[in-house]
Every structure is written in structure tokens, then in C-alpha cells.
A and B are shown apart, each in its own frame.
Chain A
């Protein structure tokens, strides 16, 4: 096959056919390999490129999971829903996929005419991947919009909080914003606990969340709210509030403050004066504070329940004289000081105790710090660090210091439950869980005195709680009135008052404590007055009359029940007891 040319110049060498063909094949193979490498390289490169692309799953900065996340339902102590999640469609657009903006705007506005045209046009133009158009719509609107068939417009199902009780438990529940995050009340507290974290992780979906059980009893809450609404019109008050607590476990059974708001419409919470007066309002408590003074003095042993105090003349401090509102102008025994709400007598009792001891007792009762409670809306009380002579005297009957009604409630609960301070809670708590939290503030025998004094005030002739007892006969309620004059233009005004009634029932074996507040009440009719017994007192009576059967307390008219709580020492002074 090789052709050799003899005699030709040796420089010319011709390859053989085989060799030439072999060379050609090798070249082809090389090209082929190159083409394949390039081809596979291109495919590989594209794969890497695709792998690098990060699809944006967030919706305006939030993960989709966070948007569809649900909150646990809130139940009252009997399992009645106080807050539930409903799933509602929300309208969104993908502007980069919208072909004809003008057409989309006109079509959308046929279903949703309330959307501003210019705003909508601006919203739909551009190259964004996701924009909200309108959140939390109804399924009917969803149906109509879907029928328009506009490309790039779609719905996403969001969770929305719904409060079936409307205004009734507004201050307990608080509310949530459009992103289903708690902004007030127990909703906010739940977020700081754990719910927010679950939502962030995308775990809070479906019905997987265990319901949160509150200590509130919606039936009692309803009665309290209903009666407060009634009191607002009856006494033309500017505000009214009430709170009830289980004295042994610290569970709040009901808490309402008027004016209130509708948590389904969070904007209504921004209206002035809708703040929670029970926790974030601080007031001069007035005479309901006398109970604190008496409890402190009796517990310290510096006064005995059978002691007498001179209330014939006012107490002079320099130019000022403090006298009594319903002056008896005679020597009063300790139970009479309480019954007639004598300022003079209370000052003498406080002075027997000593103002330093008295101030220390207020600290022991936690009057100079916030009450430990779940609601975020709390205010620090203002109690002077040290008392002057006159400061201690006014403080003994509840002026010159400001505390929240919740402070008064926990103090009263401790006075009647045997002397143990228990911080209130909105979550269910059993007695076994509560007992380790007890802090002894007064001795059990002092607590027995306090029960007697409170009951005395309700059933004894001339007691300031007799108005209250008329409505709640048989339920063994007892308590103390407090009429605190408001400071108007730098001086105490006698026609603008804040009225309180702090009570406990049934006093033969107390279970519940309650504080009721009526702000700036007017007389109901010309025969009645504006002092606390007439409004806060009767209101307490009406509430107890309705809620006691719900709480399993049967009326009992047996006079023995009242007689058995009379301390033996009192028998020596008043043999009949009351």
C-alpha cells in the first residue's frame, strides 16, 4: 500500500494512506470530544446557575409561614371560646405578571370600589413580585374577584383573630394587628412567651396549637361588664371598672373597665380614655385604704380590736385639721372607727403603730411596686419613700398616695384568705400550684379580725356597706367604701370623686374578693348621694347577687354564720357581735 518514490528527494516524504486516515480520525475525535465537553459544560453550567437562583418566598419581608400562622384559641375557665382564628382570603397582586394595568384597575374597582384608583394603578405598575392589595376580605368578594379572571391577581388565605365576646373582655384579651401579632393584653403576653417563636419557625399552623385556658369565667365577666355599663348610665359616671379574684389561687375571675373597645376593631382601642383602669390606672384609694392601716396595726400588736380611740376632735397638723366626714365626735372603739370610716380614728391607729412601721407594712403589701401580672399595661404606683407626720396621717386613710385597683384587690385578698399574699394571674392555677407562691403578710388571727370588720361594715346599723348588703342579702358579703376626692385645680374637690368598694364574700368562708370603681358619679335620684356606698356599694351588691349562684355560693340567711366570725375579744365589748 505504501508508495515509495525512488530517486526522489529524501526531504519529501509521503505518509501512507493508513497513516493519513488515522490522523484524520484522531482530529475528528478531538473535535468531537471538544464539542461534547462544551455541550456538557454548558448543561453543567446551566445547572449550577439554576442551583444558585434563590426563589423569593417572602411576602413583603415576611415568610409565608408567618402570614398563614395561626394563634392558639383562648378559652375561659369553662372552655368557652374567648378568641378564635378564622381564615380569611387576602388579595394580592404580582405586578410583573400583569399585562394590562388599566384593565386590571377598572375591573378590580367594579368589585372593590373603595380602593383609590390612583393608588391601585401605582400599586399594580412596576416590576415587583408581590404586593398586598386588600387584606382580610370575605369569601364572597374572593369569588367575585376570581370571576374577573385578571392575570397576576390572586388570593392567599390568612389567619385573622376574632373575639366572639366583642367588647366584653377587651382589656383582658387585648388585640392583634393585621399580621396576627399580639399588640395588647394577654395576646401580647402570649407572644412574649412562646407563640411568636412558633410562628417564626412556621410551626404554628392548622389546629395543632393547644388552646390557652384563662382563669376568667365569661359568665361572671358578662355580669360584671353588664352591670358596669348599667352603672355608667345610672350614675352618669365618666368611667367604671371592676375586678374579681379567687383569694386562694389568685385567679382573676373577671376584669372589666369602661369605656372599653372592640378588639375586633383594634383602631377603637386608640380612642382616648379606653385604658385599663384596673391595672394601668393609679388612683388615690380613699377610705378603702383604711382596711390596710387597720390590718397593719392589728397585726403589729400595737392596737387591739377592743381598743378605743378619741375621735372627739380633729387631728391638727400645723395649720391643718383633719376631721371626719360623718363625724361622730365621741370616743370610738376600733370596729366603730372602721364602721363609721373615721379619719381621726384611723390616724390614731396608724400613730399607735408608728409611721416607720406603717411604711414598712405598705412595702410588705407590695404597694410600692408593680403587681406581678400578665397584662403588659401596668403602671408603677406612687407611694412616698418616707412619710412625714402629716403624710403618714393622710396615707392612713388613702390620700397622698396612688395605687391601682389591682393593688387593692390583692391586698384585700391577702387580708381575708388567712394572711397570704398571692400575686394575681389570668391563667388557670390550682390551689396546689398557688400555695408555694404564698407570702405571709399578716397572721391568720388578724385575717379573722379583718373578715369580721368587713362583715360588720355591711350588716351593722350605720355601716357604710349597708347599701351594698341590701342587694346581696344572704351572700355574706362585706367590704369597705372609699370616696376619694379628686384634685381639681390644685385642691380637693368635693363634687368630683372617685368611688371604690372593696369587698369579699362569702365572709364565713371567703372565696372571692372584688374591687369596684366608679369615677365621678352623680346621684342616681335626689334621695341618694354621691358617696361610694350609693354607687360602688350597690353595684357590688347587684353583681354579687347575680354571680354568687354561678360561682356555687348558695344564699344562707342563718344568723349563726355571721355570729361565728365574731372574734372573742369583740364579744367582751359588744356581746351581740354587730
Chain B
């Protein structure tokens, strides 16, 4: 009886030993994987800081202005002048009523085969 129990216990302990060893090795593997991922994250974070710094440089007015100056002649751009500003208040209001008489005259002319745009184009010298 005692012998059977002993054999059983020995078998159990061998199985458990193997199990523990396997667990240990798998954990070591996971730990290595974890630290390599951590290193990778840290490297990427480092790269990110550099990229952010680059981005900040590219956004600086001091960086943009020389580029604008370089292409000033080519793009025909100038410093904005005061007279170029307008406001919505300066826009003429929509006429209270559509000018139906003028519209009717226009449509009748088009129906009759005379397009007023031709006359305007001719006046402007555009064919």
C-alpha cells in the first residue's frame, strides 16, 4: 500500500517538476518579448519626439516666410494692403423684387435668336 502511494507521489512530483520548468521557460520568453517591445516603444517614442520637433519647425512663421519670399515673383503675391479688405456690409443688398421685365426681354431676345452675350463678347474683343 505504502509502496503504491510512494510511486504515485514520485510520479506526481516528476510531472510537477516538468510543469514548473516549462512554466519558467515560457515566462522567461514572455519577459524577453516584453522587454524587446518596451525597447521598441521607447525607440519609437524617441523618433516621435524628433518628428514632432520637425513638425514644429515646419510650422514656424519664420520657416514659412522665406519660402513665400522665394516664390513671391513667380506666384505674383504681395503683402495684403488695407484696401483689399472688405466687409459683408459693403456688399449691395439683393434687389427687393426680381426685375421681371428685363428677364422677359432677355428670354424673348434669346427665343428670337439674338443672344446678348455675343454683343458683349464682341464689345470686349473676345471671339
- Whether B57 pairs with A164 at a CB distance below 8 angstroms is yes
Q: How far is the CA of A198 from the CA of B123 in the complex (A)?
A: 77
Which of A164, A218, A545, A554 has most B Cβ within 10 Å?
A164
Q: Contacts of B55 on A, CB cut-off 8 Å?
A: 81
In residues 69-97 of chain B, which contact A (Cβ within 8 Å)?
79-80, 82-83, 85, 87
Q: How far is the CA of A7 from the CA of B80 in the complex (A)?
A: 141
Interface string of B47-74 (1 = CB under 8 A from A): 0011011011101111101000000000
A-B contact pairs, 28 of them (CB 8 A): A81-B52, A81-B53, A81-B55, A81-B56, A81-B59, A84-B52, A84-B53, A85-B49, A86-B50, A87-B45, A87-B49, A157-B46, A162-B53, A164-B53, A164-B56, A164-B57, A164-B59, A165-B60, A166-B62, A219-B61, A221-B61, A222-B60, A222-B65, A226-B62, A473-B82, A474-B82, A545-B82, A554-B87
- Whether A168 pairs with B56 at a CB distance below 8 angstroms is no
**Given A86-B50, A164-B53, A554-B85, A80-B59 contact (CB < 8 Å):** yes
In residues 114-153 of chain A, which contact B (Cβ within 8 Å)?
139
- Whether B60 pairs with A164 at a CB distance below 8 angstroms is yes
Report which of B49, B61, B80, B82 forms a contact with A222, defined as CB distance below 8 A: B61
Report which of B49, B59, B62 forms a contact with A86, defined as CB distance below 8 A: B49
In residues 194-252 of chain A, which contact B (Cβ within 8 Å)?
206, 218-219, 221-223, 225-226
Q: How far is the CB of A566 from chain B (nearest CB, A)?
A: 23
Overall SS of chain B's interface: helix
Which of under 10, 10 to 19, 20 to 34, or 35 or more describes the interface residues of A?
Answer: 20 to 34
Q: How far is the CA of A168 from the CA of B62 in the complex (A)?
A: 8
Those 4 A-B pairs whose CB atoms lie nearest each other, nearest first: A222-B61, A81-B56, A555-B82, A164-B56
Is B42 located at the chain interface by the 8 A CB criterion?
yes
Interface residues of B (CB under 8 A from A): 42, 45-46, 49-50, 52-53, 55-57, 59-63, 65, 79-80, 82-83, 85, 87
- Whether B60 pairs with A168 at a CB distance below 8 angstroms is yes
Q: Contacts of B59 on A, CB cut-off 8 Å?
A: 80-81, 164
Q: Contacts of B56 on A, CB cut-off 8 Å?
A: 80-81, 84, 164
Is A546 located at the chain interface by the 8 A CB criterion?
yes
Interface residues of A (CB under 8 A from B): 80-81, 84-87, 139, 157, 162, 164-166, 168, 206, 218-219, 221-223, 225-226, 473-475, 545-546, 549, 554-555, 557
Q: Contacts of A226 on B, CB cut-off 8 Å?
A: 62, 65
Q: Contacts of B85 on A, CB cut-off 8 Å?
A: 549, 554-555
Q: Contacts of B63 on A, CB cut-off 8 Å?
A: 164
Q: How far is the CA of A317 from the CA of B82 in the complex (A)?
A: 49
Whose C-beta in chain B lies nearest to the C-beta of A474? B82
Q: How far is the CA of A222 from the CA of B65 in the complex (A)?
A: 9
- Whether B62 pairs with A84 at a CB distance below 8 angstroms is no
Whose C-beta in chain B lies nearest to the C-beta of A473? B82
Which of A87, A157, A545, A549 has most B Cβ within 10 Å?
A87
Q: How far is the CA of A549 from the CA of B84 in the complex (A)?
A: 11
Q: Contacts of A557 on B, CB cut-off 8 Å?
A: 82
Q: How far is the CB of B91 from chain A (nearest CB, A)?
A: 14
Whose C-beta in chain A lies nearest to the C-beta of B87? A554
Q: How far is the CA of A92 from the CA of B52 in the complex (A)?
A: 27
- Whether B57 pairs with A546 at a CB distance below 8 angstroms is no
- Whether A84 pairs with B49 at a CB distance below 8 angstroms is yes
- Whether B62 pairs with A87 at a CB distance below 8 angstroms is no
Whose C-beta in chain A lies nearest to the C-beta of B57? A164
Q: Contacts of A225 on B, CB cut-off 8 Å?
A: 62
Q: How far is the CA of A165 from the CA of B82 in the complex (A)?
A: 28
Whose C-beta in chain B lies nearest to the C-beta of A553? B85
Q: Contacts of B53 on A, CB cut-off 8 Å?
A: 81, 84, 86, 162, 164
**Given A86-B53, A87-B49, A165-B62 contact (CB < 8 Å):** yes
Q: Contacts of A166 on B, CB cut-off 8 Å?
A: 60, 62
Q: How far is the CB of A60 from chain B (nearest CB, A)?
A: 22
Whose C-beta in chain A lies nearest to the C-beta of B80? A549
Q: How far is the CA of A162 from the CA of B51 in the complex (A)?
A: 12
Whose C-beta in chain B lies nearest to the C-beta of A225? B62
Whose C-beta in chain A lies nearest to the C-beta of B84? A555
Q: Contacts of B50 on A, CB cut-off 8 Å?
A: 86-87
Q: How far is the CA of A139 from the CA of B47 in the complex (A)?
A: 10
Q: How far is the CA of A475 from the CA of B49 in the complex (A)?
A: 41
Q: How far is the CA of A549 from the CA of B80 in the complex (A)?
A: 9
Q: How far is the CB of B12 from chain A (nearest CB, A)?
A: 29
Q: How far is the CB of A528 from chain B (nearest CB, A)?
A: 22
Q: How far is the CA of A268 from the CA of B52 in the complex (A)?
A: 25
- Whether A218 pairs with B61 at a CB distance below 8 angstroms is yes
Q: How far is the CB of A295 from chain B (nearest CB, A)?
A: 30
Q: How far is the CB of B3 from chain A (nearest CB, A)?
A: 29
Q: Contacts of B65 on A, CB cut-off 8 Å?
A: 222, 226
Q: How far is the CA of A166 from the CA of B57 in the complex (A)?
A: 9
Q: How far is the CA of A165 from the CA of B58 in the complex (A)?
A: 10
Which of B52, B57, B61 has most A Cβ within 10 Å?
B61
Q: Contacts of A86 on B, CB cut-off 8 Å?
A: 49-50, 52-53
Q: How far is the CA of A115 from the CA of B8 in the complex (A)?
A: 70
